Structure 1
């Protein structure tokens, strides 16, 4: 049996191929491919056209290979969501060789000027969008989507809007890459829902950077105004929880506050903007977190947050006595942290803590009640609206417990 050469080709046809590859095709007794690919060689004898019946097509290839070498022309990189896998399964590695063209994802990222070494790639070609939902769950910086006439850019944009991710995405549509009528557009998902685009196309979903607000409210800064962790962009005290926590703290001007486990600094910044000439000490154990807090303070115009890179509770004894404390979690050191908080908080001061787990809430409540402090807590189960094709639905956030405790006078 003779050799089967699988040649990748772009929308620019043979002119995008090397001289050696063009010569290989010209000298091959048989050329195979889809009608879309074979149109570049009109009138060529020895053609095998690929239709919907792949089994019949492969049978024709197998018969032709008994007599002469064959060139199979395919789109882009045949081994990248292409026909290459099926060819290997049918003919084996020893019988084939690959001469790839640039893949559509590689071309799209090049046109959009987006590094793609860490991009998630999802094929929606002839498939559901379930895999896209899974890929978007960790909020990656870039997702490339291979489309088809059903899963169009408009449908993908609507799907993303329905998911309502914590961090918004903007959408690049790269149509007919390499062709003379190539089109590359960047637009919001809302705009893309109402548009038609040239085919074939590739969609790039790029995580949008944090918005720089023209103005800020007195309290309740939206989540997307904060710079967040690149690998965990949803890891922050969400807007609705933050607003209620600030209300529970009953802040006053000139106070000293602690934010323990500050993360992105969202709570610390909200506190700092309400206490005027007071100070907020943001305690964060990671260098990345400290840099984020400083960046968010700078972009939101807050100058009275003092960032301390340290693990609680060790650093707490070194800080000025607080009037208010916000505690985000506490982990295994929860009781030790609460001991430092109860020792440091001024009489009449308020502690508010946020917990994801019931066990942490129970431990904190038991400890504070034992100290003679008043304790109240609230269970927050919040859902945000998201658009559907007709109407809307609710997308739940993770449930949270907010505990509020006051030190006796």
Structure 2
């Protein structure tokens, strides 16, 4: 590979391993040497010799200011130094949102995940990848299941202890934890342990964590398939029951990257299970009741989707400033003036709307709209066996009328 492969490219993003600049290949070295401006963290810029007097930019917080500085230098030769593979939870993923790929060259080093698999003998295609750098640790809750192999990028030296605590509280106390420090460098070190007894005190800030999840004997794993047990949710009675929830998520039909509006979210169960179905799915929970808003936040964290967006307010007024959804679910408030009209008008072409009604008045509203717009109406009736004296009898859950329509 030569520089001729990169005509008219002004930005280069170069991955660096623990071996520093000495580990760069010829192409990366040439791009770095020819750069007029160098961008990186303090650790990366410190690798340059003191005699290097070229312009240097250190990442700011928020990072958008640094991105603006880079874009202002379009046409100059700019080199960004990054750790490992810039396209694996790295700065390359961020920059590509602002700068076209045909204006940049990306030269990766082996990712931390690849190095971890090489040390542990794990297959990279059979593990769960997760970063806790600048992210809520409760994200881990959605990744823990029996015999899962997790590779986790740490935020700092405290992260391994946080991960161990989460595994214990989730009922995986005997899980094997391996901390790998300074991978690929002279300071590389591997620290094995078990979640329940994890007590390493001198962990380096630059570390990554591998976990092999072993459930305790009493642990009941939670599936990623919709229809989680009702008891995993905190609520005040405004909860879509698990059978109805499973059917509702099936007709909502989440696809990777799609955005759901859960209007009248209650305790948040629909949005939460939408996000659990695929890690790139996004959801907005719209709820006006303050107590329920707290339930939504608590449930989202407990079930591993802390990034669920919670909007406090009354629909339809609050909806006008939200990003356009791919799918809308209305679980309450169907008789609210202009709610259905507003949701339908906001939906894009091929967008999907699902509404559940439990009252006669709400059901009449759905019958009216189905008559005008079509779609499918379904009556869902569920009964559960419950004790009746010494015997069991069937107790009906309130029936639900469901309308599903695609625009």
Larger of the two Rg values belongs to structure: 1
